[in-house]
Structure 1
Amino acid sequence: MEKKTPLYDRHVTALGKIVPFAGWLLPVQYSGVIAEHMAVRQACGLFDVSHMGELVLRGADALANVNRLMTNDFTGMYAGQARYSPMCYENGGVVDDLIVYKCTDTAYLIVVNAANKDKDAAWVAAHLTGACTMEDRSDSIAQLALQGPRAQAILRPLAGELPEKNYSAVLQGAVDGIPCLISRTGYTGEDGFELYCAPGDAPLLWDKLLSAGADYGLIPCGLGARDTLRLEAAMPLYGHELSPEINPYEAGLGIFVKLDKPDFIGKAALQAARPVSRRRVGLRMTGRGIAREQCPVYGGDRQIGLVTSGTHCPYLGHAVAMALVDAAFQEPGTKVQVDVRGRRVEAEVVKTPFYQRA
């Protein structure tokens, strides 16, 4: 039985097309994926991301546990700072990718993917050591994402304080009187904010934001645009570019693996994993066709990998894909072919992200 977010009635009223996703009933679109995608690139979009999970680690050893669980290093952060990180198994495969916020010296908020929440919570709980406890706060937190070049203009008149730096947060902020954690983060490749509030406050916050953004072109957006936006920005998605079978180096996330810090889960395997034999790459489709997940990729007569995500990008106006391919084919400019429904379509390896805001 799928769950409903606190904003479910708002989605139905706005004629959102509701679909099951990661155990939740969520809108895949309202006005259409292309219209919503373009609104985020050119104006602003509002997303319900209340299905995401939130775990809190507390105790004198909270930092030591975060550093042992994650590949990134969280030492020296200030209160309100956020960092992205993979979390790995002992073999170097990825449990999940997530964002960690430092709340205090003894408390850290971990935001995890909805489909992985229960698995992540069990993994974290099973690997805690010392003076540290974990609380699953997912059911007591709603999350809205305000994304696009006009997000700041919409939010600033409503909020007494906004985070000025990317990957930072006002931990005890407010939006027009509604208590919120206000984070300068997102999953679209645009400037924007993610707002964490009590579930009971989410509908009013949704209404206030849409009202304040009406003159700025703000519209509600669904899962469809969220996926095309993240793909256009070449952001990995768990289950596609990341999985228990794909390590962070293969996924092109080596910058988030800090081998110079003390031991962490998966460190030995990751030390031994380089040089990798395959890499995530960006593909631009130069022939006619749209590559989709699991389409085979060929270099000459030999299959060299698989597409992990692919679509036609509304803003760029052409089809792109991400793929996991033999490392020998990772250089931009390399010509390959993608098997699209039994037909070989020409493609070229290109630098990522495909889209990057000015």
Structure 2
Amino acid sequence: MGISRITAGDTGTTLDDRSREIFRRIVESYLDSGEPLGSRNLSRILPMSLSPASVRNVMSDLEDLGLIYAPHVSAGRMPTQAGLRFFVDAFMQVGDLSPDERGEIERQISPKGQDMPHDSLLNEASRMLSGLSRGAGLVISSKGDPVLKHVEFIRLEPTKALAILVGENNQVENRIIELPAGTTASQLTEAANFVNAHLAGQTLPELRADLLRLKQQVASELDILSQDLVERGLAVWSGASDIEAPGRLIIRGRGNLLEGLAGAEDVDRVRLLFDDLERKDSLIDILNLAETGPGVRIFIGSENKLFSLSGSSLIVAPFRDNEERIIGAVGVIGPTRLNYSRIVPMVDYTAQLMARLSR
């Protein structure tokens, strides 16, 4: 598993065994409950014998290092964002998924191992990550130049037809086009056969480059009505098309981020995050985050501007095509007290699976 660490806010800290144990217990308690841990309770669970007063002295040193803080007067201690980063980089043990866990992820994304349309894979992966993490599952499909596999015209009415474009990854684009007056069923078939013979195996940009040449060939090989039909179909696809959009961002489980929030201010911060995620440039931002290093990336709170206001964390990994080009990313958004050690291998394996299923 490739997990790339970032060291933003690196303290360069070296802790002795006692301080390490106390710091680890504070962070693990926070990740489990979200609550501060006090010196009295901490002294009871430590493997070494330390009085509450001695524990408080160590806590004070950890506070001076910027690793923990007291949310309220006379409260216990919680990790700071820098403390969480230090914990993730220096303490966290990341295991691998069991065969049963891998099988469950595969079953949820692709039931019965069947081939699925690309959009369905994206949706199922996002839903699965949300359900297993109790956070928000995030899946991005980056911009691509899909290779055309098949084109078809289906009559809907005497003057309208459905033009269907299928990409090699089973991406499907449908558009309704106006039919030239008097178009017959045989002309619909003839036009589709012509496009498939000349354009299949090319990308949309390549298709556009061939438009001028094709106009000359269409004139010599097809009658006037079929020629008009082909040109109308090509004009539709060369316009604004979902299949070649800059990319797609799918988020499932947004409600999970609203659960357990303390007050209206927390809810507003998460809603701001939702608003930010709806912006097109957010998709580019997240893809750039995934591209900056191999494997799984972990961003905590303000380490990324997109999540700084909401105080959320992002665990994200890219997935690639056969030529090792990044074609998307999967991830989980959640509070800073995410179960990182459990979610990291889950995101990592989902990225591997998406790469395999998208080919």
When the two structures are superposed, what TM-score results if normalisation uses the length of structure 1? 0.24
Higher Cα Rg, which structure: 2
Q: Which has the higher contact order (CA 8 A, sep 6+)?
A: 2
Greater fraction of residues in strand: 1
